[in-house]
Structure 1
Amino acid sequence: MDLKFSEEQNILRDMTRNLCADYSTVAVVRKLENDPVGVPADLWKHMGETGLLNILVPEELGGAGFNLLDCAVIYEELGRAIAPGPYFASAVMSVLAITGGGSEARHKELLAAIGSGETIVVPAWLEPDNGFGPAGVQMRAEKGADGYRLNGVKRHVFYAQAAQKLIVLARTGDAPDAIDLLLVDTKAPGVVLEQQKTMASDTQYKVTFNNVLVPEDNRIGAAGTGWNTWEAAMYDGIILQAAWAAGGAERALEITVQYSKDREQFNKPLGAFQALAHYMADASAVVDGAKVLVYEAAWARANGKSIKRLAPMAKLFCCKAFKDVTHMAQQVHGGIGFTLDYDIQLFYRRAKQHQMNWWDSRYLEELIAADILDSDAPRTIPDPFTV
């Protein structure tokens, strides 16, 4: 594994950091908390203009066609800025689902619109009380002469109000993975959006489908292949989620180190107290380890190697690192760190939220365990939250 970043990757890092410094300041992050749309207009415009929304669109379709290590460099910087917006849901997960489903030619115009930022497409995947695996998708798409009819509820749909289309995971058969991906207009008759408040104050929605008609042409890929497409997209996506978490953890540690130098108690800086210094030393090792694991997973994917174990390991470790580092940071700041006047609470609240989304710790542990323990006998991943 060669972790010497190329000149292009260093340029991408610098460009993204500068963009966030200009258009995703802490003031912007605060302003967007609990916002019903959740899209920072200036940041979104410049992400489109600089190509940061086009990174995973294939080159033959007019995109940048970056590999996952290039993208990890970008997402680490977005995590450092805890940048708000639907860039992951739309420019990563939706693009991966559309291209992975073999629908590139049919959806070429849609991919171009996503890459420019003109159109936002977000997944509608999780359901109330259901888990992350295929058994968690129970909402039915009933096939008729005029297409599919959708009835049911999806939860944790990021930026649904800002989106023009949803990629809905719906069950079309009784087999465990008989699931299809359907493109649904957010303004279609029968689609009802209800904003949900979260600990991270990000923008999530409950989406109810009341007899929503979806033409058969709006299916992504061949019938019954939706879960395989979605799972493959998730393995790539969680590497970038891990990069975002590693970046957030690194920045939270930097804020805490600076605070420990500036804040004095008993006539000396907090960082001079051995117990607190050791907390930050331990956190530094954890952050560096998280970044290396992300780079290894991204490098493996970029070089055609298996990420079946590395991708879940990266997200599991990096999200735990983000949560643990921000927990330590709160302890160093003391009670004042929980107040809204201090920036560290912004990172602390997002760390746990990040850990619970896009495959949580339990599901990731099951994926890793299945690969370690059952490498010779494929195992069905249990979905303990499905009722």
Structure 2
Amino acid sequence: MHFDLTEEQALIKKMMRDFSEGEVAPGADERDRTKQFPADVFDKLTKLGVMGLPFPEQYGGGGADTISFAITVEELSRVCASTGITYSAHISLGGAPIHLFGTHEQKEKYLTPLCTGEYMGAFGLTEPNAGSDAGGTQTKANLHGDKWIISGSKCFITNASYAKNLSLTAVTDRTKGTNGISAFIVSTDAPGFTVINNYEKMGLHSSNTTELILQDVTVPKENLLGKEGHGYKQFLATLDGGRIGIGAMAVGIAQGAYEKSLQYAKERKQFGQSLSSFQAIQFKLADMAMHIELARTMVYKAAWLKDKGRKFKKEAAMAKLFASEICMKACDQAVQIHGGYGYMKEYQVERFFRDAKLLEIGEGTSEVQRMVIARQIGC
């Protein structure tokens, strides 16, 4: 057992740290204010060659491991969580289902353009009446000859405005419960397919969060993803990997909030001395540093297990749960350390605070993570 990054992982960390500092951070506050999608950043990420980082080279990917993916998400999120979640969803929700369950032909047609950055990846699972209860899917798909006809709606879908195709779930046999849910690859340009981008969000303002409306959308029979009736299981497996991405996001946001707090505490003078000389502030910073280190180790372990082809459901849930909750605490304390200035947009930690909350909700709430862990330990 050793805890050093490989040479490749260390190079990716340095590359992404430099890129994030130079290309992502400068416009983060303005994008948060205007809610502008970071299209220029993703054009540059495409040129950097990381849009398909963990996918096979034969489909245009980078052939890297999941730890490298987590490092990339962490470094982006450290300066801009909107960029971090956009990238994480592109890989772990947009590309992963096609990589895991697609045929060779589907991967060539739909995974390759994601890896080469032609368009963003997206994934449609959540519905107005099927959130934590993903088995409550109501979107339906009926087979007519050699085509599926899909009708229904999805909500809170990341990246869909910038996706040409996406995977989603629909019920193909209502008599079979969750075993009657299947997955499909659907073109967002198909007649009857509408993407609505009008959510007003607490945070992550420059990420794209949409509603999908499908009205008798025709999908070729060969666009069934994986096996009929296995869509629910496939998407839950996809979420296991996605939770590593959310955990990495949480580590990145917390790291960014901690670094800004440490710097401020050293520079800010009150009662004739720096804030960092007061034990009350030292303890806050010590707790932040400790929690971030523990969370990062958990995220890397879950990623390592995934790369080894071993079971990682429990560890991914633990990493996502712990990292998201310590991230929220770290951002809360970052605002507190900054005092009144922490409440002002100029000092950025209020953006980190607003962005962090989603991580306790998306890709399985904290309550759902505890349910997953409880099942995995035999309850």
TM-score normalised to structure 1 length? 0.91
Cα shift at 1:28:
3.3
Mark the runs of 5 or more structure 2 residues left unpaired by the alignment.
Answer: none
Deviations 1:218-263 (A, max 9, x none): 2212212222222222112211221121121111101011111111
Task: Write the mapping of 1:218-233 to structure 2, written as runs, cut at 5 A.
Answer: 218-233=223-238
1:74 to 72, 88, 101: 72
Alpha carbons 2:59, 2:115 under 8 Å: kept? no
* 286-295 vs 297-306, which moves further: 297-306
Separation (CA, whole Å) in 1 of partners of 2:34 and 2:157: 14
Separation (CA, whole Å) in 1 of partners of 2:117 and 2:211: 23
Cα shift at 1:288:
0.9
Cα shift at 1:267:
1.9
* 342-351 vs 183-192, which moves further: 183-192
Q: How many residues align?
A: 372
Does residue 258 of structure 2 align to residue 253 of structure 1? yes
Does residue 200 of structure 2 align to residue 197 of structure 1? yes
Instruction: State the Cα RMSD in Å.
Output: 1.8
Cα shift at 1:23:
1.5
Match in the other structure for 1:2: 2
Cα shift at 1:166:
2.2
Deviations 1:322-376 (A, max 9, x none): 10100111111123312222211111111101221111111111000011134xx
Separation (CA, whole Å) in 2 of partners of 1:188 and 1:304: 37
Separation (CA, whole Å) in 2 of partners of 1:39 and 1:246: 21
Mark the runs of 5 or more structure 1 residues left unpaired by the alignment.
Answer: 375-387
Deviations 1:200-221 (A, max 9, x none): 1232111111222222122212
SS at match of 1:358: coil
Separation (CA, whole Å) in 2 of partners of 1:192 and 1:34: 24
Relative to structure 1, is the Cα distance of residues 136 and 272 closer, same or farther in structure 2, using a 3 angstrom cutoff?
Answer: farther
Over the matched positions of the two proteins, sequence identity in percent amounts to 28
* 323-332 vs 188-197, which moves further: 188-197
Deviations 1:60-118 (A, max 9, x none): 33422222122222222122122534322223322110021132333313222111111
SS at match of 2:229: coil
SS at match of 1:306: coil
Relative to structure 1, is the Cα distance of residues 33 and 169 closer, same or farther in structure 2, using a 3 angstrom cutoff?
Answer: farther
Task: Write the mapping of 1:14-163 to structure 2, written as runs, cut at 5 A.
Answer: 14-33=14-33, 35=35, 38-41=37-40, 43-85=41-83, 86-145=86-145, 147-163=147-163
SS at match of 1:184: strand
Alpha carbons 1:90, 1:121 under 8 Å: kept? yes
Relative to structure 1, is the Cα distance of residues 340 and 15 closer, same or farther in structure 2, using a 3 angstrom cutoff?
Answer: same
Alpha carbons 2:90, 2:159 under 8 Å: kept? no
Separation (CA, whole Å) in 1 of partners of 2:215 and 2:267: 56
Cα shift at 1:283:
1.4
Cα shift at 1:33:
5.0
Alpha carbons 1:243, 1:294 under 8 Å: kept? yes
* 219-228 vs 56-65, which moves further: 56-65
SS at match of 2:347: coil
Cα shift at 1:29:
4.8
Separation (CA, whole Å) in 1 of partners of 2:270 and 2:293: 29
The code of the aligned residue for 1:198 comes to K
Cα shift at 1:133:
4.3
